[in-house]
Amino acid sequence: MFTGIVTDIGSVVSLTPTARGQLHRLRIACGYDRSTIADGASIACNGICLTVVASGGERGRTWFDVDAAAETLRLTTAKNWVAGTRLNLERALKIGDELGGHLVAGHADGIATIVRREDLPDMARFGLRAPRELARFIAAKGSVTLDGVSLTVNSVDEADFSVLIIPHTLDATTLGGWRADDEVNIEVDLMARYAARLAEMK
């Protein structure tokens, strides 16, 4: 589990697809202490929970390897990552850690598209379009995770919704570089999903 609070910005160093294209081995550089990264650890990369299969250090920076499987490549923006792609990173939640955002599984539900960007004094408002099948889980004042960042939904109009990004988030994540037509990973709120499922069972 995660909280949607980004703790580092990493970058893709290399990407090695398998012969069948069913699995991509990614090497990601980060600022984490290598001694704290164990094989098998979970790290959310742009909101996608990936398992560390190797780690090391090079040129004063830590790196870790993860595998992105076919389902991840189909459902998320990982299929578009190349060397140099910047990623929001978050380590897995530990018991006793502060829950600063909201409970995030790291299982991206799909891809949302940025429809517009409005720059305000020190802030930015983004309008996004969610996949139609996910729209019913998005509510004004509810939570949503975009590229691994826990955000509060400002407004909703069918499949379209908006979020307001404060200065700290623009500086501490990759969101400051978002532009219209960019695609981002979206994970809807777990509570909204379970509530909808319970309503269906009545």
pLDDT tens digit sequence for 156-168: 999 999 999 999 9
**How far from the centroid of its chain's Cα atoms is residue 34's Cα?**
22
- Concerning whether 42 is annotated as a catalytic residue, the answer is yes
- Concerning whether 55 is annotated as a catalytic residue, the answer is no
Domain boundaries, the chain: 8-91, 110-201
Q: Catalytic one among 51, 54, 155, 180?
A: 51
Contact 88, 9 (CB under 8 A): yes
- Concerning whether 2 is annotated as a catalytic residue, the answer is yes
Conformational region of residue 3, where left means phi above 0, alpha means psi within -120 to 50, and beta covers everything else: alpha
- Concerning whether 51 is annotated as a catalytic residue, the answer is yes
Contact 61, 30 (CB under 8 A): yes
* Second-level CATH architecture of 110-201: Beta Barrel (2.40)
Q: Which residues pair with 68 in a beta bridge?
A: 24
Contact 87, 9 (CB under 8 A): yes
Q: Catalytic one among 69, 83, 140, 195?
A: 69
Domain at 8-91, CATH class: mainly beta
pTM of the model: 0.92
Q: Catalytic one among 14, 18, 36, 152?
A: 152
Residue range 122-131, pLDDT digits in tens:
899 999 999 9
